[in-house]
Structure 1
Amino acid sequence: MDVIRSYFEENPDLFAALVALVAVVGGLAGSVIGAKIQANGGRAQATAAREAAQISSEAQRVAALWTVRHVQTAEFIQQARQVVRAADRAYTTDDEGSVREALQVLTQKQAQVELIASRCVIDGAANVVRSVEDFARLALKRGPAAYAEFVLQRIMTSGSCTVEVVEAARLLTELKGVYRNYGVQEISEEGLQGLDRDALNSVLRAQRDASAALGAVPGIRRHHVDAVLEHAGNRELPLDYQELEGLYEASMAALVTTARTMLKSEDGFAAS
């Protein structure tokens, strides 16, 4: 160490050059290290920015999906209830077309739910559609006959009741009695099988008389009369109606429960 010191003392110019070289090398090293630190910091910032953008994009996607699920599921439920309301009106109004139209819209709403909802909600919606369709089919099948009787009762309790209307109501009651006496519940070849000639003639005569009288009542059209002749002997409507109504209400309650689970309604925030 003393030798080196003596050497530099004897050669001060060389020592000055060495000091300058060390300063330059140190500066370069500092610049390289600083640049490296800065570059690493930039990459970290870029990575953090990308992650933040991904999180934001995913949050927007989840929120949008929740919104679409909410809207489409709510519209499906509302339309199912609309079909049932239209079916109920079919017993007291001459508007079977509303039932068919509401069913068609329900099918469209079901397809929309199938594209965006969870599997449990899709299955629940299918169960609702089946129960609603059964409910609607009963209304389309039995509604016209019920409507004809509704018209009769409405006229008879109004101030415009005529002798013809009273006679139509009497002959309808008589037709039901004939059906009941001979055990006729369905007007078809199978339903009339087993009747002897006198019984068959009684049924046909009661049908003919009731048909002519009902056809003359204002508001009762031909297809209403045909429906009365076909279903006047079937006394199972209240049971069928109540059973199908119960199935519909059960399927709807199950769907609402699964939909609330999908939408996390109890959690108080939107999520998929």
Structure 2
Amino acid sequence: MTAFRQYFEDHPEIFAALVAAIAVLGGLLGSVIGAKIQADGGRDQAAAAREAAQIAAEAQRVAALWSVRQLQVAEFIRSARAMMAVCNGIYRSDDDAESRRARVDAASREMALREAEIRLIAPAKVAHAATEVAKATQKAYLGAMRWGPLAGGRVALKRLCNSEDEAVRREARAAMRVLDDEGSSWSVRRQALSTVDGLSGEHIRRLSEPPTKPMQRIVEGMHAHQREVDSKMGKLLEAARVMLRSDDDVLPVVPTPEQRRRWWRAA
């Protein structure tokens, strides 16, 4: 070691050159290590940026889907209730057949459209529940179209029974007594109804038909259809609340980049 030191003392120019070479090599090594660290950091930053962009896009997609599902379920429920309001109104209305069918057809088309939209964007359980509601309203629709006009004719006749015109009131009450007589024939019923000023031809035709079902059972059938729709609607609401995470009171979320990295480290 002493000889080595003595050599450099005797040859200072070689020592200086060696020190310079070591300094250059050290600088080069430092540059290489620094560049590698910087490159690794850049790759990590780029990967984190890509991941953050993917998570943000996923969060936007989930939030948008949540909003669409919430809107479509709400619109379907509204259309189903509107459909039932139209069907139930037939039992209490004395509108003509054309006007009545136009209202029902419009409500039915809208509900069918809303159901199709739910089947496209909602989970299977919600779509199935919506279909069950649609089936129940369809049964209510068929019942209303079959028995509603008869009940509506009774409504019209009862209204005429309270007419301010004494002659109309007398004829309407006489016709009502004939209808309440279950043994009255078609011809007798039609003759009595034809004398009432204010009844449409459809009212007279429907009220003249043999009473195949008592009015009380017709009204009970209307209420039964409403109960069935309400029951199916309750199941739809329950499934929709689960889908929309209503009890959590928050929008669906996706993990943040930091949460995902912690999960990867744990794995």
- What's the TM-score bracket when you normalise by the shorter of the two chains? 0.7 to 0.9
Separation of aligned partners in 2, 1:67 and 1:219:
51
Q: Is the Cα–Cα contact under 8 Å of residues 83 and 99 in structure 1 kept in the other structure? A: yes
Deviation, structure 1 residue 83: 0.7
Q: 1:166 aligns with which of 173, 189, 199?
A: 173
* Number of residue-to-residue matches in the alignment: 244
Return closer, same or farther for 1:158/1:59 CA change in 2, 3 Å cut-off.
same
Q: Which residue of 2 aligns with 1:177?
A: 183
Deviation, structure 1 residue 66: 0.7
**Secondary structure of 2:248's partner?**
coil
Q: TM-score w.r.t. structure 1 length?
A: 0.83
Q: State how 1:43-192 maps to structure 2 within 5 Å.
A: 43-93=43-93, 94=95, 95-97=99-101, 98-161=103-166, 162=168, 163-174=170-181, 176-178=182-184
Deviation, structure 1 residue 229: 3.4
Unmatched tracts of structure 1, length 5 or more: 179-205
Deviation, structure 1 residue 91: 1.4
Q: Is the Cα–Cα contact under 8 Å of residues 121 and 259 in structure 1 kept in the other structure? A: yes
Deviation, structure 1 residue 218: 4.5
Q: 2:235 aligns with which of 254, 261, 265?
A: 254
RMSD, aligned α-carbons: 1.9
| Residues 1:268 and 2:252 are matched in the alignment | no
Deviation, structure 1 residue 89: 0.9
**Secondary structure of 1:54's partner?**
helix
Unmatched tracts of structure 2, length 5 or more: 254-267
Deviation, structure 1 residue 81: 0.5
Using the aligned pairs only, state the percent identity. Answer: 39
Separation of aligned partners in 1, 2:75 and 2:251:
18
Separation of aligned partners in 2, 1:231 and 1:269:
59
Deviation, structure 1 residue 249: 1.3
Q: Which residue of 2 aligns with 1:32?
A: 32
Return closer, same or farther for 1:219/1:26 CA change in 2, 3 Å cut-off.
farther
| Residues 1:225 and 2:232 are matched in the alignment | no
Q: 4+ runs of 1 displaced by more than 4 Å?
A: none
Separation of aligned partners in 2, 1:263 and 1:62:
11
Deviation, structure 1 residue 53: 1.1
Q: Is the Cα–Cα contact under 8 Å of residues 214 and 225 in structure 1 kept in the other structure? A: yes
Deviation, structure 1 residue 228: 2.4
Q: TM-score w.r.t. structure 2 length?
A: 0.85
